[in-house]
Amino acid sequence: MRLLIVGSLGGQLHTAAKIAIDRGAKVAQVDTINQATNHLRAGKGADLLMVDASLDIAALIAANESERITVPVVACGVNVKPDIAASAIRAGAKEFIPLPPEADLIAAVLEAVADDEQPMIARDAAMQKVIEFANQIAASDASVLITGESGSGKEVMARYVHNKSKRAAAPFISVNCAAIPENLLESELFGHEKGAFTGAVARRIGKFEEANGGTLLLDEISEMDARLQAKLLRALQEREIDRVGGNGPVKVNIRVLATSNRDLRKAVAEGTFREDLLFRLNVVNLALPPLRERPEDIIALAEHFARKYAAANGLGDRPISETAKTALISREWPGNVRELENTMHRAVLLASGQEIGPEAIRMPDGSLFTGSATTTASRAAEAADVAQRNQVGRTVAEVEQDLILETLDHCLGNRTHAANILGISIRTLRNKLKLYTEQGVSVPQPGETRAGAA
């Protein structure tokens, strides 16, 4: 989480900065709104601007927008009158924080903007298998496509891969391709030169350059315009980008991760996504199971969120009663982890005592919680248990063969990438695949999985 404080760094703003740093944020400070825009334009980056309410917040937001820079703003101030706070919100600030600051309030605002510190919680065998695979490929520079239903934790997985990689100390930059208008996304990704369009009063560094040396996450990549897909493909192939209005390429050294909640192979068939870009992004596929297929994770995640929101609201520990746990497990969670998180946030606020009972587990409108007696989650738990039991009695060679072929499936038959992930030489891999073929075992060819062409 990168926080840029705009205003005099004295007194209460200094205290706010220290609280943010203690909560894990990387904090920078400038005095004026012009300096803030220059900071962002230069590619130094920020996930949130905390701005003194006495400054011209509307002018700051307008200047950023004219340069196609999108960063949320939070206003703050000491003894600020209600009308000034309201004016800051009308000017475009997302929130107002009174000073002197409260540590829990600062923490809640930071968490609302970015979940940098959200841990990877996995108790269920289905999710543990994905994490084991992620651990294998994290150290490489291979592009990774993370797929799964909306709310299943794709960005959390992306941050996990980055933090496990050799680039962990370098920037992790995330761009939501679905949230940024098409006419702004190109400049957001690749930057622009002075005079490239009306409002471009100076050079602006894009996310590719901002992530140089680190990792760039392209969130919801399926929503990217076809024209931009072509430019992205060139950037991935050549490891260089062209700023909007630029005269020459700029070299970049990044690892690219992408997420999608859509079937990109279907999008390719429909003509809305480039097949060559899919191959370039999908060197490795981390497919996250929906929460209903991870039953053992439901309570572990619920307890984590209960602790998180109890602390954020200045409340004591809120353990979950056994009857409430039963209610949580009975639901199929169509909104996945995100829905569970929101449910536990409400439960912490609605709990009538020190314990979260079933009466606190409610829908967003306050109505009774709904679930089903026989859930997909319980069926998935039974299937996972059977799968684990089926490992007993198998030889090491059989387990090794499954691991090699599953890795090759993930890499769409690419021998070099599979060997890197498995930590063996390409010669060793080819010898094993030759043996499998001679034994009549189906081995994926380049560009294919065992199920057929990708």
By percentage, how much of the chain surpasses pLDDT 70? 91
- Residue 130 confidence (pLDDT): 95
- Residue 19 confidence (pLDDT): 79
The CATH code belonging to domain 291-376 is 1.10.8.60
Cα distance between residue 393 and residue 451, in whole Å: 26
List where CATH 1.10.8.60 sits in the chain.
291-376
pLDDT of residue 375 exceeding 80:
no
Q: Please spell the DSSP secondary structure of 286-302, one letter per residue.
A: EEPPPGGG-HHHHHHHH
Segment of 145-149, 189-193, 196-200, 441-445 carrying the highest mean pLDDT: 145-149
List where CATH 3.40.50.2300 sits in the chain.
2-113
What is the residue-averaged pLDDT of the chain? 84
Which residue, among 178, 166, 165, 169, has the nearest Cα to 258 in the 3D structure?
A: 178
Residue 103 to residues 14, 17, 175, 318, 345, Cα–Cα distance (Å): 13, 10, 28, 20, 19
Cα distance between residue 415 and residue 434, in whole Å: 12
pLDDT in tens, 128-137: 999 999 999 9
List where CATH 3.40.50.300 sits in the chain.
125-287
- Residue 268 confidence (pLDDT): 93
- Residue 300 confidence (pLDDT): 94
Average pLDDT over residues 220-240: 91
Which residue, among 292, 305, 265, 266, has the nearest Cα to 281 in the 3D structure?
A: 265
pLDDT in tens, 275-300: 999 999 999 999 999 999 999 999 99
Q: Where are the alpha helices (DSSP H) in 115-202?
A: 125-137, 154-164, 182-190
Buried b (16+ CB within 10 A) or exposed e, 439-452: eeeebbeeeebeee
Q: Where are the alpha helices (DSSP H) in 289-335?
A: 295-312, 322-329
List where CATH 1.10.10.60 sits in the chain.
393-453
- Domain over 2-113 is classified CATH 3.20.20.450: no
Q: How confident is the model at residue 414 (pLDDT cuts 50, 70, 90)?
A: confident
pTM for this prediction: 0.68
* Superfamily for the 125-287 domain: P-loop containing nucleotide triphosphate hydrolases (3.40.50.300)
Cα distance between residue 222 and residue 176, in whole Å: 11
359 versus 110: which is more confidently predicted?
359
User: What is the CATH T-level fold of the domain 393-453, as seen in this structure?
Assistant: Arc Repressor Mutant, subunit A (1.10.10)
- Cα-Cα-Cα-Cα dihedral of 281, 286, 289, 291, to 10°? -90
pLDDT of residue 352 exceeding 50:
yes
Phi-psi domain of 78 (left: phi exceeds 0; alpha: psi -120 through 50; beta: other): beta
- Residue 374 confidence (pLDDT): 40
pLDDT of residue 9 exceeding 70:
no
